[in-house]
Amino acid sequence: MGFTEKQEGLVKESWEVLKQDIPHFSLRFFSLILEIAPGAKNMFSFLRESEEIPQNNPKLKAHAVKVFKMTCESAIQLREKGEVVVADTTLKYLGTVHVKSGVKDPHFEVVKEALIRTIEEAIGEEKWNEEMKNAWGEAYDQLAEAIKAEMKNHHDETA
Ligand code: ISQ
């Protein structure tokens, strides 16, 4: 079954909630990534480049928002076109930075788990449900597949 209007609505609705406190949810998202995979800390260039503590790191916030926003945009595209299409230059960039950072398939699962848990906390137990989880999960998976495919291209080019 394709991505439905209802699923798109669930993702958009919860993104509106996340938007109300970006500094908090960005940090929460990042903290959950490190909680699930403590070893991942050194993979984030914006931490190495900055003296700022993560609580007050504008780059972390900007990056986390990109992940939220792109997943939300993926949900919209999945409903409209049935697939995730990322602008060529953006996708090339994403392929390169992820290969350079040493990202492997399991890392995408860590980020997925952290993303879902962040949204769950933002929405609150009462409104959170399996449908919402699956809608975000599917949008994320398809976006992750697009990035992974591009990473593979990048590897092939440099091999
Ligand atoms: C980049 N890629 C995946 C997850 C991230 C989380 C926080 C900031 C940047 C990220």
CB 30 near ligand 1, within 6 Å? yes
Closest listed residue to residue 4, CA positions, set 71, 78, 86: 78
Query: 64 is in which domain, residue-wise?
Result: 3-155
CB 12 near ligand 1, within 6 Å? no
Residue 49 DSSP class: S
Structural domains in the chain (count): 1
pTM of the entire predicted model: 0.93
CATH of the domain at 105: 1.10.490.10
Q: Considering the chain, what is the average pLDDT of its residues?
A: 93
Cα(124) to centroid of ligand 1, in Å?
A: 23
Tell me the best of 111, 113, 116, 143 to mutate to test the pocket of ligand 1, counting ligand atoms within 8 Å of each CB and taking the most.
111
How confident is the model over 127-156, as a mean pLDDT? 94
**pLDDT the model gives residue 26:** 95
136 and 67 Cβ atoms separated by less than 8 Å? no
pLDDT digits (tens, 9 = 90+) for 116-134: 999 999 999 999 999 999 9
Q: Which atom of ligand 1 is nearest to the CA of 33?
A: 6
Tell me the best of 26, 35, 44 to mutate to test the pocket of ligand 1, counting ligand atoms within 8 Å of each CB and taking the most.
44
Question: Looking at 81-90, 128-137, 150-159, which range is the least confident one?
Answer: 150-159
Structure token digits, residue 84: 């995730």
Structure token digits, residue 103: 């990202």
DSSP 3-state of 77: helix
Cα(53) to centroid of ligand 1, in Å?
A: 16
How confident is the model over 13-39, as a mean pLDDT? 95
Q: Decide which of 130 and 153 is more confident.
A: 130
